[in-house]
Amino acid sequence: DAGITQSPRHKVTETGTPVTLRCHQTENHRYMYWYRQDPGHGLRLIHYSYGVKDTDKGEVSDGYSVSRSKTEDFLLTLESATSSQTSVYFCAISLNVANYGYTFGSGTRLTVV
Amino acid sequence: SQQGEEDPQALSIQEGENATMNCSYKTSINNLQWYRQNSGRGLVHLILIRSNEREKHSGRLRVTLDTSKKSSSLLITASRAADTASYFCATDATGNQFYFGTGTSLTVIP
């Protein structure tokens, strides 16, 4: 998707290991979000950011942390991966949520074994 | 949960027919959005409707919003095989973030 990239696209990791997913944007949008998508649950918000070093928790934030040291990068870290964190993770950006929708990345498929 | 709920969960129609899917939500909103997700891809924004609007059009898409019933509908007219995808509604109860429903899976049969 134009202006937003996620890396890696796929990752398999072992239980108990730390994992960091990266979201990079070139749109200079203020808002950035991390969602996870699981069958039967739709998309659920993990964390979001409304500016550099400004972040807040979403509805499923336990076991996750985020950092945003630059406007263009939003990192999601699983401190100690568990099998319940096997999911597809999507990053999204928005200029202004009152007037614009999200632009989503292509997703990261994470498998914790 | 603040998420919306789409209905039906799955819909299968013939090419050329219209497809209607609905979204219900629980709390007051500022705006509501619809997204499409093709298999294995990220979501794509389709349309945003504000709480003071009742209807919006975009090409073959028509969205209605009834805030008294806390519901919205998405109509796709003259459907095509390329419309096969999952469709999600999203609501912004808290202003800076959107809550997504579980989606409607639409299959358009050529």
User: From the CA of B48, how many Å to the nearest CA of chain A?
Assistant: 7
Q: Does A34 touch chain B (CB under 8 A)?
A: no
Using an 8 Å CB-CB cutoff, list chain B residues near A31.
96
pLDDT at B21: 97
Closest CA of chain A from B13, distance in Å: 22
- How far is A3 from A80, CA to CA, in rounded Å? 30
Q: What is the pLDDT of residue A8?
A: 97
Query: What pLDDT, on a 0 to 100 scale, did the predictor assign at position B27?
Result: 87
> Is the per-residue pLDDT at B1 higher than 60?
no
- Average the pLDDT over each of A69-83, B2-16, B75-89 and give the range with the smallest value: B2-16
Chain segment A45-89, per-residue pLDDT in tens: 999 999 999 999 998 999 999 999 999 999 999 999 999 999 999
A27, A4 contact by CB (below 8 A): yes
Percentage above 70 pLDDT, chain B: 95
Q: What is the mean pLDDT of residues A20-44?
A: 94
Q: Is B61 on the interface with A (CB under 8 A)?
A: no
Is B43's CB within 8 Å of A90's CB?
A: yes
Yes or no, beta carbons of A98 and B33 under 8 Å apart: no
Structural element, H or E, at residue A65: strand A64-70
Judged against a pLDDT cut of 70, whether residue A6 lies above it is answered with: yes
Judge whether residue B19 has pLDDT over 60. yes
Q: Which member of B42, B96, B101 has the closest CB to residue A97?
A: B96
Residue B87 touches chain A, beta carbons under 8 Å: no
Check if A96 contacts B (Cβ < 8 Å). no
Nearest CA in chain A to B101: A42
Strands, E, within chain B: which ranges?
5-7, 10-14, 19-24, 31-37, 43-50, 55-58, 61-66, 71-76, 85-91, 99-100, 104-109
Query: CA-CA distance, B98 to A104, in Å (whole number)?
Result: 13
How many helices and strands in chain A, by DSSP H and E?
Answer: 0, 11
Q: Kindly report the CA angle at A11 between A95 and A45, in degrees rounded to 5?
A: 35
Position with higher pLDDT, A21 vs B97: A21
The CA dihedral of A74, B31, B106, A91, to the nearest 10 degrees, is 0
Q: What is the mean pLDDT of residues B43-71?
A: 96
Per-residue pLDDT at B2 exceeds 60: no
Q: How many CA atoms lie within 13 A of A49 on its CB side?
A: 25
Q: How confident is the model at residue B3 (pLDDT cuts 50, 70, 90)?
A: low
CA closest to A58 among chain B residues: B97
Which chain A residue has its CA at the smallest distance from B51's CA?
A98
- The pLDDT value given to residue A39: 87
Percent of chain A with pLDDT over 90: 88
Provide mean pLDDT across the span B54-68: 97
Interface check A2 vs B, CB under 8 A = no
Q: How far apart are CA B69 and CA B78, in angstroms?
A: 27
A90 to chain B: closest CA residue: B42
